[in-house]
Copies of this chain bind each other. A is one copy, B any other.
Amino acid sequence: MAEPQTAAPPVASHRVTDSLVHKQKLIESALDAYTQFPSECPQVLRDAVRYSLLVPGKRLRPMLVMLAAEACGGSVEHAVPAACAAEMVHTYSLILDELPWMDDDDTRRGRPTTHKKYGDAVAILAGDALLALAFEVLARDVQPAEIAAGCCATLAAACGATALVGGQCDDVRAGISSGSKEMLESIHNRKTGALFLASLRLGALVAGATPEQHSALQEFGSHLGLAFQITDDLLDHDEDRRGTGGKRKGDRGKLTFPNLIGVDQSRRDVEQLVASSLEALEGFGPQARSLRALARFVSDRL
């Protein structure tokens, strides 16, 4: 049953906000607990992992896991391990992205990046520790085992040579230079989109979603992931024009949507993509309320 696409009344908005805050608390507390490593973990490694992971943020990917589970009628609490795994992989990808041989960023959100604070070797190892931990958490804490194996396969495929790592590789090598819209979308689909889709799929898996729900969520995610990336490019573009210094080193002069298709067309694309993502959720009932709010949040950032 489709929920009307009109703006929700204030009361419902409060409910959505309260429910997002509750979910965020669940995630923060679980991420903290998961990185209390026993003493076989060197202190500096524990510090670097926690420094990178426990920074305040939107927690967008874990939220996608939990809201997808909720939309499919599953329990939000049961989705916590999978939500944490998605955030661990995202943090690993940020550490990777910031390295001197990748984007060479000195700061993120006003703090030194992991490699600037702990050195290159420890940063690489902290990223790898997070990647391994993501699979450990999924394999051990998602129940039943059949779902756990499906979650591991989903996340591994999203991390691998044809997805995150492959997109990163093309991105590093594409460098400043020219490129087509197809190449830019292909890089984003692998670097950002794959983990978006995997997060939604993890949520659907732990909720025991129907094939129709799985496929609707994948359509939702493919539109939303691209909308999110174009929005990021637009925000960077604005900061760059205003000279507010938000631009990170490695992104300077890189191929972006505003550079390639212009600011106005980029904005129109975001609106259209968010609308298409919402259409994909038409078959879901009011349980998808928060997921719809999350999609609107993407264009609201502009």
Interface positions of A (Cβ within 8 A of B): 37-38, 40-42, 44-46, 49, 96, 99, 101-102, 119-122, 124-125, 128-129, 131-133, 135-136, 138-140, 142, 144-146, 148-150, 152-153, 155-157, 159-166, 168-170, 172-173, 186, 190
Q: Which of B101, B132, B166 is A160 in contact with, Cβ under 8 Å?
A: B132
What B residues does A135 contact at CB under 8 A? 135, 152-153, 155-156
Q: Which of B129, B149, B168 is A149 in contact with, Cβ under 8 Å?
A: B149
This chain's copy number in the assembly:
2
Per the bound structure, the CA–CA distance linking A139 and B205 in Å amounts to 14
Is A169's CB under 8 angstroms from B125's CB?
A: yes
Is B124's CB under 8 angstroms from A101's CB?
A: yes
Judged by DSSP, the binding face of A is helix
Is B45's CB under 8 angstroms from A165's CB?
A: yes
Per the bound structure, the CA–CA distance linking A261 and B160 in Å amounts to 43
A-B contact pairs, 30 of them (CB 8 A): A37-B161, A37-B166, A38-B162, A40-B162, A40-B163, A40-B166, A41-B161, A42-B170, A44-B173, A45-B166, A49-B161, A96-B124, A101-B120, A121-B172, A122-B172, A125-B165, A125-B169, A125-B172, A129-B161, A129-B165, A132-B157, A132-B164, A132-B165, A133-B156, A136-B157, A136-B160, A139-B149, A139-B152, A142-B149, A145-B145
Q: Given that A124-B99, A146-B146, A149-B152 are contacting pairs, would A40 and B190 also be in contact in the complex, using a CB cutoff of 8 Å?
A: yes
Looking at A40, A49, A102, A164, the one whose CB has the most chain B CB atoms below 10 A away is: A40
Shortest Cβ gap from A162 to chain B (Å): 4
Please name the residue on chain B nearest to A140 by beta carbon.
Answer: B153
Q: Given that A37-B162, A124-B99, A136-B160 are contacting pairs, would A42 and B169 also be in contact in the complex, using a CB cutoff of 8 Å?
A: yes
